[in-house]
């Protein structure tokens, strides 16, 4: 954690991004969020004890979202489907990551800086898939206020919350859509990002979404993923990684731990450029070669 926070500060001192603002709102707002979080814990506990995790699958939702999506991820009430869950989400993730979620998200920014530096930000395009409540896009806009950015998520309430959180910025689009079929043209994005989403996808869907990333990236464009460490990234954390899906409903995490992202990328023409550790997460960087490369 110390290493992550020191790197966060070093990035600021190096001018890669400004001193970050969380934009979490007033103390009253934060306390209300904490209240919502604590209020849900008995329900979370009940689901954990009974193993029930599909309460969001009902006649109304069944045909509107893919089956894999309609689960109470993290055992939280409402899954991804309610406004209350969207309001509770960020407190929950910060608790899960001991207060490092935002610092972890920001570790994607140096990888974007590398490809954006010296270019006119107004002419670049960034797409964030599974943008959730928009926390990462907020940091993107703090670093590049004039960059046109598009956030996409399958959850209507989370996109609503992202709109509220990001309303201070111009040139941000937010849409409800499935990452499996991204409604933007081929070769149109300079960067695609996705934060904390891939461990929640079944293996076949990971591959479909990667193909979409490869399709929408411009030649020379960059994909940056931030997600959990995988098995053997950090031997001391193996036990922790095993426990996570038991305490939090994470049905695809076991296959995520073993996933070969380099191979998935290679299969759709992306080059696995590097990976960097960030506490219990890591940043994975992939590049779409330019023609002739």
Ligand X SMILES: C[S@@+](CC[C@H](N)C(=O)[O-])C[C@H]1O[C@@H](n2cnc3c(N)ncnc32)[C@H](O)[C@@H]1O
Interaction of residue 197 with ligand X, rule CB under 6 A: yes
Angle at 168 between CA 164 and CA 170, to 5 degrees: 105
Burial 238-248 (b: 16+ CB within 10 A, else e): eeebeebbeeb
Figure out which of the listed residues 100, 155, 189, 230 binds ligand X, where binding follows CB under 6 A.
155
Using CB under 6 A as the binding rule, the residues of this chain from 209 to 248 that contact ligand X are none
Helix axes 109-116, 135-143, angle to 10 degrees: 40
Nearer Cβ to ligand X, position 252 or 286?
252
Q: Is 171 left (phi over 0), alpha (psi -120 to 50) or beta?
A: left
Distance CA 1, CA 98 (A): 9
Q: How far is the CB of 78 from ligand X (least distance, A)?
A: 11
Q: Which of 131, 149, 265, 278 binds ligand X (CB under 6 A)?
A: 131
Please give the C-alpha separations between residue 146 and each of 114, 181, 188, 220, in angstroms, as whole numbers.
17, 27, 17, 21
Q: Is 154 in the site for ligand X (CB under 6 A)?
A: yes
Q: Is 135 in the site for ligand X (CB under 6 A)?
A: yes
CB of 204 to ligand X, least distance (A): 12
179 makes contact with ligand X (CB under 6 A):
yes
**195 touches ligand X (CB under 6 A):** yes
| Sites of contact with ligand X (CB under 6 A) | 69, 80, 93, 105, 129-132, 135-136, 153-155, 158, 178-180, 195-197, 200
């Amino acid at each position: 954690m110390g290493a992550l926070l020191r790197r966060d500060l070093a990035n600021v001192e190096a001018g890669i991004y400004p001193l970050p603002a969380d934009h979490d709102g007033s103390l009253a707002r934060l306390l209300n969020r904490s209240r919502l979080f604590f209020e849900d814990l008995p329900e979370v506990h009940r689901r954990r004890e009974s193993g029930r995790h599909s309460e969001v699958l009902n006649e109304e939702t069944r045909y509107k979202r893919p089956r894999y999506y309609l689960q109470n991820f993290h055992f939280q009430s409402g899954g991804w489907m309610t406004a209350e869950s969207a309001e509770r989400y960020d407190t929950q993730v910060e608790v899960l990551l001991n207060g490092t979620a935002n610092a972890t998200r920001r570790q994607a920014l140096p990888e974007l800086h590398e490809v954006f530096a010296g270019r006119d930000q107004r002419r670049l395009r960034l797409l964030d898939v599974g943008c959730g409540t928009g926390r990462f896009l907020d940091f993107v806009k703090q670093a590049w206020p004039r960059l046109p950015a598009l956030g996409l998520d399958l959850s209507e309430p989370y996109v609503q919350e992202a709109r509220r959180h990001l309303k201070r910025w111009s040139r941000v689009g937010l849409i409800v859509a499935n990452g499996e079929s991204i409604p933007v043209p081929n070769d149109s994005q300079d960067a695609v990002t996705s934060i904390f989403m891939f461990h929640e996808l079944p293996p076949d869907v990971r591959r479909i979404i990667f193909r979409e990333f490869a399709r929408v990236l411009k030649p020379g464009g960059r994909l940056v993923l931030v997600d959990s460490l995988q098995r053997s990234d950090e031997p001391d954390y193996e036990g922790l990684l095993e426990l996570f899906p038991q305490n939090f409903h994470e049905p695809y995490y076991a296959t995520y731990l073993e996933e070969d992202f380099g191979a998935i990328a290679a299969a759709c023409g992306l080059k696995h450029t590097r990976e960097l550790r960030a506490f219990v997460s890591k940043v994975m960087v992939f590049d779409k070669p330019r023609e002739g490369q």
